[in-house]
Structure 1
Amino acid sequence: MRESLEKMLAKGVDNPLLRFGLGKAWLDEGDGAQAALHLAQCVAQDPKYSAAWKLLGKAHQLQGDLAAARKAWQEGVAAAQAHGDKQAEKEMTVFLKKLDKV
């Protein structure tokens, strides 16, 4: 699946949904750096994409960059609150609380 998304990107297709898909695919493969690259592009294109903020935090966490994970989740909580995405807000709030215990 990731290969077909990469081909779309190479052809000039670039939008938040494609970047989200690529970020999730890389995250599923355990590559936090590549995931973060695409997810950062996703939220740059659509700052209110709370699910992307959530995965961006996960990608940073996978790389061991807890400060970047915290920042992504804080921005994600704000985005989720602004758009009434209660589930994403709750999940990222839990992630932030877990970081506080590290």
Structure 2
Amino acid sequence: MSTESLEKLLAKGMDNALLRFGLGKGYLDAGEFARAAEHLQRCVEFDPKYSAAWKLLGKAQLEQGDSRAAEQAWQQGIAAAQGHGDKQAEKEMTVFIKRLQRQAPSS
């Protein structure tokens, strides 16, 4: 479903984690990182255990140049993934954080 179709559903008052995730992923794929982050943030507010949303939220924030927010999102995503046994998402976000920490200039 296109972001345009999803936006129409949102405008009609349908608002939930899955809709926000779809919008966030669509905007992320389209390179609209600020809009993606906005929808993914709402998604995790609806469902803090949605580890895939935390993962994409971190990516959207990183693409906007906010590595600190990205790392925080991934940390929360790891906790969410551990909470329901999502080993793959946990592993991916752990790798993202390690990569981010390697790139950070040492102080």
Mapped to 1, the partners of 2:33 and 2:63 lie a distance apart of 6
Mapped to 2, the partners of 1:38 and 1:89 lie a distance apart of 21
The runs of 5 or more residues in structure 1 that have no matched partner are none
Structure 1 runs of 4+ aligned residues shifted over 6 Å read none
Please name the residue that 1:34 is paired with: 35
User: What RMSD in Å do the two structures reach over aligned CA positions?
Assistant: 0.4
Please name the residue that 2:25 is paired with: 24
Q: CA deviation at 1:31?
A: 1.0
Matches within 5 A, 1:1-102: 1-102=2-103
AA aligned to 2:84 is: H
TM-score (norm: length of structure 1):
0.99
TM-score (norm: length of structure 2):
0.95
The runs of 5 or more residues in structure 2 that have no matched partner are none
Q: CA deviation at 1:66?
A: 0.2
> Percent of aligned pairs with the same residue?
70
Question: Larger Cα Rg: Structure 1 or Structure 2?
Answer: 2
Mapped to 2, the partners of 1:67 and 1:36 lie a distance apart of 14
AA aligned to 2:63 is: L
